[in-house]
Copies of this chain bind each other. A is one copy, B any other.
Amino acid sequence: MAQQVQAHMMLSLDGFGTGLNQTRERPFGSVDPSQLGRWMFEDADNNRAELTAITNYGAFIMGRNMFAAPGPDVWELEWKGWWGPNPPYHAPVFVLTHYARPAIEMEGGTTFHFVTEGQEVALARAREAAGERDVAVAGGVSTTRHYLNSGAIEQLHLQIAPVIIGAGERLWDGLTAKLDPVGARPTRFATHMDYRVVKA
């Protein structure tokens, strides 16, 4: 089977992936992360398949704010982001940023590469690095929306947590990709929803 690009994202009922005012101490911004992530933190056994799927890729692409807190314009190089010493990716992760920094090799096989040449270059590098495995777009909202609209993504996997956030970045605002429902499964703290992106 040909290599695919897939995206995974947790959303609130009102379509937000994070809140406003994301900081180093608050990766989800003004959202209590336990609101969106209870399905993985408190009900992991019943969500094992989806949890495994999220990190089962040959390479990943993420927006800068998925790696570390927004701005200042220069990196605080001593901080290696939100994911801790042994990130869950265990594969190359291409971080979109305007500010170059050297790649960081973490424990467990994750290497963060910082791509300043734009989304298409990041995609090409991730495809190459993944070999015969699939590539995942790992968020955030604007990065996922870009790759959905550009036609790069074949499958979108959502976890819809039954919470209202009310402010932040909404995945649906500006989304032009056409989606076909292909999967859905309720669990205690989130409903899994799977879509295939319709090829133009």
Contacts and interface: CB of A to CB of B under 8 A. Distances in A.
Nearest first, the 4 closest Cβ-Cβ pairs linking A and B are A184-B184, A14-B172, A181-B186, A162-B179
B186 A14 contact: no
Interface of A: 13-15, 160, 162, 164, 166, 170, 172-173, 175-176, 178-195
B178 A162 contact: yes
Contacts of A175: 13, 164
A39 to B, nearest CB: 9
Contact of A172 (B13, B188, B192): B13
A164 B187 CA distance: 25
Given A13-B179, A164-B176, A186-B193, 13 more contacts: A13-B175, A14-B172, A160-B181, A160-B193, A162-B178, A162-B179, A162-B195, A181-B187, A181-B189, A181-B190, A184-B186, A184-B191, A184-B193
A155 to B, nearest CB: 13
A27 B189 CA distance: 35
B180 A14 contact: no
A181 B188 contact: yes
A179 B13 CA distance: 10
Nearest to A39: B181
A13 B170 CA distance: 11
